[in-house]
Structure 1
Amino acid sequence: MINLKGQDLLRNPYLNKGTAFTKEERKMYELTGLLPNAVRTIEQQEQIIYQRTKDFEDKLEKRNYLMNLYDTNKTLFSYVIGKHITEFLPIIYTPTIGDAVINYSKIYDTPKDAVFLSIDHPEDIKKSIENSLKDLDEIKLIVVTDGEGVLGIGDWGVQGVDISIGKLAVYTVAAGINPKNALPIVIDSGTNNEALLNDPFYLGNKHKRVTGEKYYDFIDKFVKIVLELFPEVLLHWEDLGRGNASAILENYRSKICTFNDDIQGTGVMMVSAMSAIAEVTGIPIKDHKILVFGGGTAGIGVSDQILLEKMQSGLSEENAIKQFYLVDRFGLITQDMDNLTEGQKKYARAKGEFKKPLTNLAEIVEATKPTVLIGTSGVTGAFTEEAVRKMAELNEKPAIMPISNPTKLAEAKATDLIKWTDGRALVVTGSPSEPIEHNGVTYTIGQANNALLYPGLGLGIIVAKAKTVSDGMLSAAAHGIASLQDFSKTGAAILPSVEKVREASKLVAIAVVKQAIKEGLNRIEIVDVKKAVEDSIWEPIYK
């Protein structure tokens, strides 16, 4: 039974139906006279909303319009996005969300149900979270960021909150996680972005980022309070700075139910891509040589996840590591370099392995002879024609995956990769790419869109009430979408299209729950896994 009435009901985004309230409901909930006379179905509302989106040529303006709907009627928002998932997913999340983050303080209208925690006031953490719970049910999922490493665009401080909001919107649309069970949070620990510090309209703390002991003390207090309030919650970390992301994940991953999408989610997505590449090339994952261009959080995360897959295929860790080459802005990472992160040290090559330091990508490809080239650097155009042609010279079907987001930061354009390799490259991009015509063949470009995996991963974790998120569960997620991939046709995409995201999420969730049960990580007994997953999926239907 709904307790709210009148304007309070219309202003509640979880219960509002707008013009879909029936005549009887309008009398019952004191809405008479507060709405136009016509009663519309959700299908009619969707048609009107969709036609309205056609009026916006600017993608950010279109996103603002849709997020206003999110702010007023979450059921209708989810219904509309779900009906046009391929068209609207890039609008509500990557790549358009990058522009939303950059312009957040200028276009701010409402908090979109997010919680804002200031590092300067740790005493307010619990009260701030509790203040957000009035309209929500049990919190099963939290997405938290500190805005230091947003996509490929860097430190945007409190404006990174749009990432947490957008990520949860995708969880709902893709996997059917009830928005009343989810909470977006941003930790405002300051910013090192001088443009923001000098912007009189910036909405965050006007000081440099707090680091070190004070930062980690705040994180620890935050985690303890979250678990005190929601003992079985899944804590999803997003777009933290590269050092903090790894440190926080390593500190908590064996103790609580948590994962980092930038480190693990992107890695899981690439393991899924590697499985497809193994099938197409006939070379098993354990035998592929991997060159990762970008030695930051995403690059290490991708390497770690593929490394685990190689080890599960029977290789020792020592032998598996030998098949990885990492490149950062100084060139191929070697053990004699200064200021290497722990992740970089793990994959650094011996000082004397090559005759000279290697900084040119084409030379690195020539020297290392990889079968797979992955870009996580955010360096536009880093995959040069020379380097790509060298990959094609060394491999019959070179796998080349520039997965940096947004589009303007991609290491290469898909159309160039197809042209430079005469259609032989197995291409995966980070942002959507249009199909490419080359020599009479249509090449559909797979997108390494984490939305194909992390929503289903999260759903499976929630259904199982998992104690922790294990490597086995991540691997199960990576292989969960295998049945959606078809390589029988020349030019077929390496990864499923985004339009299959609901189907993918269900398959991934089922695989994750099964693996959690296998490892004894489930907190509740589940007899029928498929039914348990299906029963937990929220549908955008007016009650």
Structure 2
Amino acid sequence: MTSKKYEKANRRLLQQVSNAYSILNDPFQNKGTAFTKREREVLGLTGTLPSKVQTIEEQAARVYEQYEQRPEGIQKRKFLMEIFNTNRTLFFYVMTQHLVELMPVVYDPVIAPAIEKYSEIFMKPQGAAFLSVDDPDTIEESLKNAAGGRKIKLIVVTDGEGILGIGDWGANGVNISVGKLMVYTAAAGIDPREVLPVSLDVGTNNQTLIDDPLYLGNKHARVQGDKYYDLVDKFVKAARKIFPDVFIHFEDFGRDNATKILNKYREDIPIFNDDVQGTGIVCLSGVLGALNISKQKFTDQIFLTFGAGTAGMGIANMMYREMLVEGMDPEEAKKHFYLVDKQGLLFSDTPGLTPEQKPFVRERSEFDNTDELTNLEVVIKAVHPTVMIGTSTKPGAFTEAAIKEMAAHAERPIIFSISNPTKLIEAKAEDLIKWTDGKALVATGVPSDPVEYKGVTYNIGQANNALIYSGLGLGILASKAKLVPDELLSAAAHLLGGIVDPEEPGAAVLPPVAKLQSFTATEAEAVAQAAIDNGLAGEDVTDAKSATENMKWLPKY
């Protein structure tokens, strides 16, 4: 062979090797042992894989068998992330086959320690875009690089300040964006090629991270004020410029920023804040489901929000808006709400009130014993709530005495202890059932086993935002909604709240995660229809059912 022919053949061989390497290391293209013999020939993969060609079912059986051999918790999650980083289709096939079992592992509650250890166990960036406040001029370039030529339709972005119930975890918080997007795909069938997790690294006030030599984020205090909001603005504008149809989901921002950001952009582009809106919607759905069981009226309820931060105020606002939908006068509706935070019951003269809290605070003149209203049991005795929702991250805050006091004045008390992870829950479901002699209608923020009490099996609804945001997101994307107003959120809440079986003894107030894949499709259709009815859908979207069905991605080769 002449030297020129040799060089040409060598270049061809190197190109084949390069193509094979690229394909096998691209989680969106890689099929692993499922590549057919013909595909291996065409793609230059001959000899790079064992001879046996497997089906996705055979691959999945092998993956699940290996998964079962891993220790519980973070080791199981690390193994699943290896599959995620290698072969997206196989990962989601396995996840959809074992959704109830795997959701707590890839997301809450196991994701909490995975976030805390993110820098220590870092292997791959998982396709995320990392945007630094110290280098704002590279935002567009960073988004394009992370997308890698993909047409992005959904972004989940976090600044890591208010992660779950564990607080400020800086750049480690990107795992929350990755986890949310996994649920979007597994539950609602949103194409994983069209999603992008984003981290806004503005520093951290977590001194443990700053002192940690392995921490991968910016090692300085959180940037605040104009510089912070400028970064958010540059991100939003760049994202909409590069991906004109993108729907932006804001996740786990701090209490001072979450609502401001939502209010700034929601009238202009399709955005959603899971902490302000998602938690509120799923709790509204749970209350509607509970009232379907108790046969009581929504407008007769007295609401006590225990933990008046971002999530708590999102819940209060969602319940308040539903009061207005039911025809109640705004001022009368506000009389049905009480806020309890670290100071106790919040009054108009309580120092440090946030703009979101002020509309719902009470006057001291309404009570004779205001000095004692720092204790939850005393507050309950004074206001007689029928609905109490905990977002406080104060473990054990719902004491036996407080719950019994509530049950003494409410025929079917509605009690949601939704702080997470598990170690931060206000009360366990089994205790709430026992302390109220089976009267309580209960939901928790983490998975809870059924409770056996006096011959009845009480199924416990999980106030998991995945029940809402996955179907909501599919409906928004399918309808090409220009905005996400309250009408679309209400459509999702009512659909979800209407699924419970009110005649079943011990029925859960929310549908189980086991049925997530089935009802997200119905929820998405309701949201898409609301977008059409409100003139917010794309011009070519006229049939909500077909739009949502055509949007759905399935994990198959």
Give the corresponding residue for 1:22.
36
Q: In structure 1, what is the Cα distance between the partners aligned to 2:527 and 2:132? A: 35
Deviation at 1:483, TM superposition (A): 5.0
1:86-125 alignment to 2 at 5 Å?
A: 86-125=100-139
1:290-329 alignment to 2 at 5 Å?
A: 290-329=303-342
Q: Relative to structure 1, is the Cα distance of residues 13 and 4 closer, same or farther in structure 2, using a 3 angstrom cutoff? A: farther
Q: In structure 2, what is the Cα distance between the partners aligned to 1:340 and 1:4? A: 59
Give the corresponding residue for 1:431.
446
Give the corresponding residue for 2:431.
416
1:127-526 alignment to 2 at 5 Å?
A: 127-134=141-148, 136=150, 138-357=151-370, 358-526=373-541
Deviation at 1:170, TM superposition (A): 0.6
Instruction: Between 276-285 and 265-274, report the one with greater CA deviation.
Output: 276-285
Deviation at 1:320, TM superposition (A): 1.1
Q: TM-score, normalised by structure 1?
A: 0.98
Give the corresponding residue for 1:61.
75
Q: In structure 2, what is the Cα distance between the partners aligned to 1:522 and 1:107? A: 43
Structure 2 residue identity aligned to 1:35? L
Residue 414 of structure 2 contacts residue 442 of structure 2 at CA under 8 Å; is this kept in 1? yes
Deviation at 1:524, TM superposition (A): 2.7
Deviation at 1:22, TM superposition (A): 1.2
Deviation at 1:319, TM superposition (A): 1.2
Deviation at 1:225, TM superposition (A): 1.1
Residue 302 of structure 2 contacts residue 385 of structure 2 at CA under 8 Å; is this kept in 1? yes
Give the corresponding residue for 2:546.
531
Residue 14 of structure 1 contacts residue 135 of structure 1 at CA under 8 Å; is this kept in 2? no
Give the corresponding residue for 2:46.
32
Q: In structure 2, what is the Cα distance between the partners aligned to 1:525 and 1:286? A: 39
Matched residue of 1:453: which SS?
A: helix
Deviation at 1:135, TM superposition (A): 5.2
Matched residue of 1:428: which SS?
A: strand
Deviation at 1:466, TM superposition (A): 1.1
Give the corresponding residue for 1:11.
25
Deviation at 1:346, TM superposition (A): 1.3
Deviation at 1:481, TM superposition (A): 2.5
Deviation at 1:57, TM superposition (A): 2.3
Give the corresponding residue for 2:7.
none
Deviation at 1:331, TM superposition (A): 0.2
Deviation at 1:282, TM superposition (A): 1.6
Structure 2 residue identity aligned to 1:192? N
* 1:292-326 C-alpha deviation (Å, 9 max, x unpaired): 10010000001111111111000122111110111
Residue 441 of structure 2 contacts residue 509 of structure 2 at CA under 8 Å; is this kept in 1? yes
Identity, % of aligned positions: 50
Deviation at 1:535, TM superposition (A): 0.9
Segments of structure 2 that go 5 or more residues without pairing to the other structure are: 1-16
Q: In structure 1, what is the Cα distance between the partners aligned to 2:519 and 2:322? A: 20
* 1:66-105 C-alpha deviation (Å, 9 max, x unpaired): 1111111110111101001110001111111111110101
Q: In structure 2, what is the Cα distance between the partners aligned to 1:122 and 1:82? A: 38
Q: In structure 2, what is the Cα distance between the partners aligned to 1:174 and 1:199? A: 36
* 1:487-542 C-alpha deviation (Å, 9 max, x unpaired): 22111111111011111211111111111111111123323211110111000010
* 1:237-268 C-alpha deviation (Å, 9 max, x unpaired): 00000010011011111111101001101101
Residue 112 of structure 1 contacts residue 165 of structure 1 at CA under 8 Å; is this kept in 2? yes
Matched residue of 2:538: which SS?
A: coil
Q: In structure 2, what is the Cα distance between the partners aligned to 1:483 and 1:449? A: 16
Give the corresponding residue for 2:12.
none
Q: In structure 2, what is the Cα distance between the partners aligned to 1:399 and 1:482? A: 14
Structure 2 residue identity aligned to 1:476? A
Matched residue of 1:124: which SS?
A: helix
* 1:399-430 C-alpha deviation (Å, 9 max, x unpaired): 11001111110000011111111111101000
Instruction: Between 279-288 and 123-132, report the one with greater CA deviation.
Output: 279-288
Q: In structure 2, what is the Cα distance between the partners aligned to 1:483 and 1:51? A: 38
Q: In structure 1, what is the Cα distance between the partners aligned to 2:45 and 2:244? A: 38
Matched residue of 2:124: which SS?
A: coil
Structure 1 residue identity aligned to 2:90? L
Q: In structure 2, what is the Cα distance between the partners aligned to 1:109 and 1:13? A: 15
Deviation at 1:9, TM superposition (A): 0.8
Structure 2 residue identity aligned to 1:303? A
Structure 1 residue identity aligned to 2:469? Y
Deviation at 1:484, TM superposition (A): 3.0
Q: Relative to structure 1, is the Cα distance of residues 221 and 160 closer, same or farther in structure 2, using a 3 angstrom cutoff? A: same
Q: TM-score, normalised by structure 2?
A: 0.95
Residue 481 of structure 1 contacts residue 508 of structure 1 at CA under 8 Å; is this kept in 2? yes
Residue 459 of structure 2 contacts residue 507 of structure 2 at CA under 8 Å; is this kept in 1? yes
Q: In structure 2, what is the Cα distance between the partners aligned to 1:417 and 1:262? A: 25
Q: In structure 1, what is the Cα distance between the partners aligned to 2:225 and 2:521? A: 40
Deviation at 1:4, TM superposition (A): 8.8
* 1:172-220 C-alpha deviation (Å, 9 max, x unpaired): 0010000111110000000000101111111000000000011011111
- The alignment yields a C-alpha RMSD, in angstroms, of 1.3
* 1:353-404 C-alpha deviation (Å, 9 max, x unpaired): 1112201111111101010110011110100000111111111211110011
Q: In structure 2, what is the Cα distance between the partners aligned to 1:123 and 1:351? A: 51
Residue 4 of structure 1 contacts residue 29 of structure 1 at CA under 8 Å; is this kept in 2? no
Residue 294 of structure 1 contacts residue 375 of structure 1 at CA under 8 Å; is this kept in 2? yes
Structure 1 residue identity aligned to 2:97? K
Deviation at 1:482, TM superposition (A): 4.2
Structure 1 residue identity aligned to 2:358? K
Residue 286 of structure 2 contacts residue 497 of structure 2 at CA under 8 Å; is this kept in 1? no
* 1:26-76 C-alpha deviation (Å, 9 max, x unpaired): 111111111111111111111111111111223111011111111111101
Give the corresponding residue for 1:44.
58
